[in-house]
Amino acid sequence: MTADDVRGSATALARQALGLPELAHARTVAAYVSVGSEPGTLALLDALRARGVRVLLPALLPDNDLDWGGYTGEGSLARVRHGGRMTLLEPAGERLGPDAVTEADAVLLPGLAVDARGMRLGRGGGSYDRVLARLERAGAHPALVVLLYDSEVVERVPAEPHDRPVHAVVTPSGARRFRWASEPGHPD
């Protein structure tokens, strides 16, 4: 994709996501800053803030768990290099602790793909598996939304017993909800 394609996709993704009722009524959204070839999220983060939404962003911990901090604009981000692995944009301010995500009305998740069952394929680090397990232990039930390109919505991805389906996927061309994401014991 060209730089113009990436920018256009980020704008379209933000427009589609902002139309979701789960985000329209959210007071707190846990999100992330996209990296590499992921669909751009900064336009969405800024639009959420403009609506008065509290936006939480992750900070990667040494054990691959996630701490959280507030997003107050692009100037509130710091580039953080994590060993030889990657450089991420993370919140530069006060850390709120890993449990801060349990306050979110919606959690925006990165991924490589999502399938027709609503199962998300992550990058394999387990950070968001920990987040989802933390939400479950806390009895928190935020809307779980994956942000992807259209081509990353596929028929089936591998799933492990600990994986949980998401409620929706948003792409630059639209949103798709998964009605069974909240049914106990699904899927398999």
Q: Report pLDDT digits (tens) over 108-159.
A: 999 999 999 999 998 878 899 999 999 999 999 999 999 999 999 999 999 8
Q: Report in angstroms the alpha-carbon separations of 29 from 24, 40, 98, 114.
A: 11, 16, 14, 20
Phi, psi (degrees; rounded to nearest 5) at 91: -65, 135
Is position 146 within any domain?
yes
Is position 20 within any domain?
yes
Is position 185 within any domain?
no
Is 127 annotated in a binding site? The answer is: yes
Is 126 annotated in a binding site? The answer is: yes
Is 38 annotated in a binding site? The answer is: yes
Is position 88 within any domain?
yes
Domain region containing 21: 3-177
Residue with tokens 């994956």: 146
Is position 26 within any domain?
yes
| Rounded (10°) angle between helices 3-18 and 42-50 | 40
What CATH number did the domain enclosing 114 receive? Answer: 3.40.50.10420
Is position 188 within any domain?
no
Is position 60 within any domain?
yes
pLDDT of 101 higher than 90: yes
pLDDT band of 186, cuts 50, 70, 90: very low
Is position 182 within any domain?
no
Structure confidence at residue 172 (pLDDT):
94
Is 121 annotated in a binding site? The answer is: yes
pTM score: 0.90
Residue from 67, 23, 25, 18 nearest 43 by CA: 18
pLDDT of 187 higher than 60: no
